[in-house]
Amino acid sequence: MLFLQALVLFNVICVSVFSLLQDPAPLQRRLPQDDGEEDEGGQDDSARTTTIKGKPGVGRTTTIRAPPTTLTRRTTVTVVKASPTPAPKPGGGKGPNSQCPQEWFQISKELDVMFVAANACTKDAHAAIRAIFHDCFPQGGCDGSLTTKEEMARPGHGPMAGTLDKLKALAQKYRVTNADMLAFAGSHAVVSCPGGPVIKTYIGRKDANRAAPEGQMPPHFALAADSVAAFRARGFTTQELAALMGAHTVSRQFDVNVQRRGASQDTTPDVWDATYYVQTLLGTAPFTFESDMNLGRQEDVGPWMSQFATDKSTWDRVFSQAMTKMEFLGTPGQSAMVECTDALPKGKTAPQLAKRLTSVEQEQLRNLNFTLPAR
């Protein structure tokens, strides 16, 4: 009897073991849980979460189900997507690499209104060009000292006062320095005149808190040797001096001869052309400073003035480079400043000088027999 009971029990155990080998699910349901949390379907089997780390950002959880195998658990993988790196605040530049602050593009729009008239540049433009010379050339360089009350009250600066007041107000409105405003406005005024070249222009100057020493600009009656020496002391060649003098093509005098206030230095004072050189050298200009006549006869400067009289493209190139050099006087230098040439307007074409020259003028210029000096 006992033998029979043992035999039956053995058969039951064998059947159970055989059943488990065929279907392991009952055993799986009896396995202990890892974290005690329910899965998305409300089942009791556990889930393991794996996080793929990346840069800080907004993550997305992705559930990956493994193929059904014996004793397989579901695995949840969290993929963290890196947030895009915020781009630096762009400047207002037109070019892809421009870092010029946006306010200078707004300033440029306001200067357009001040400086541009129908096929001409305005008196404010003339004054802004003159102002950059009077601010940058004296000791201290381009430091905005011209806008101080002391300098504005000096003889010869009165005709610029109205324009300087406008530029100071514009600098205050946009919270930029007077020094940067004068330099930028000077470049803007040149290209605002029909035919004026674009000048590489930088910002990053600091304002002076006192006036520059008086009497450092060569006077209107200066001897040629004195003018050459003064410009050489600032780092300019005779070729650059001759080119910079060409800014008088949009100049009018007010204080040298009060009986002829407003007289221009060539017959096209609202256009950037080489008429100034022709009429200064030939003595046919409406008005000419004595210092300009002296330079026209000087052995080093005169030949360059003669070349520029019939070669405007060369004059524009040399003038533009010399003006950039002028605007760097007293500054920390190009590497510490930001270029804002992109904020300037595009140049406007002007009628070719050759079409204005009479045959007599052309012959007279040829007869000057200047020989260009070595630079």
Q: Is 34 annotated as a binding residue?
A: no
DSSP secondary structure string for all residues of 27-94: HHHTSPPSS----TTS-SS-EEEEEE--SSS-EEEEEEPPPP-TT--EEEEEEEPPPPPPPPPP-S-S
DSSP assignment letter at 361: H
Q: Is 268 annotated as a binding residue?
A: yes
Q: Is 54 annotated as a binding residue?
A: no
Q: Is 273 annotated as a binding residue?
A: yes
Q: Is 23 annotated as a binding residue?
A: no
Count the neighbouring beta carbons within 10 Å of the beta carbon of residue 117.
12
Residue 216, judged by CB atoms within 10 A of its CB (0-12, 13-18, 19+), counts as: middle
Reported residue count of the chain is: 375
Closest by alpha carbon to 274, among 238, 248, 301? 248
Catalytic residue set: 134
Amino acid at 171: A
Q: Is 59 annotated as a binding residue?
A: no
Residue 135, judged by CB atoms within 10 A of its CB (0-12, 13-18, 19+), counts as: buried
DSSP assignment letter at 208: -
Q: Are 200 and 334 in contact (CB under 8 A)?
A: no
Q: Is 135 annotated as a binding residue?
A: yes
Strands (E), the chain: 47-52, 59-64, 74-80, 116-117, 120-121, 202-203, 252-253, 263-264, 338-339
Q: Is 220 annotated as a binding residue?
A: no
Q: Is 145 annotated as a binding residue?
A: yes
Show binding-site residues for heme b.
248
Show binding-site residues for Ca(2+).
135, 141, 143, 145, 249, 266, 268, 273
Show binding-site residues.
135, 141, 143, 145, 248-249, 266, 268, 273
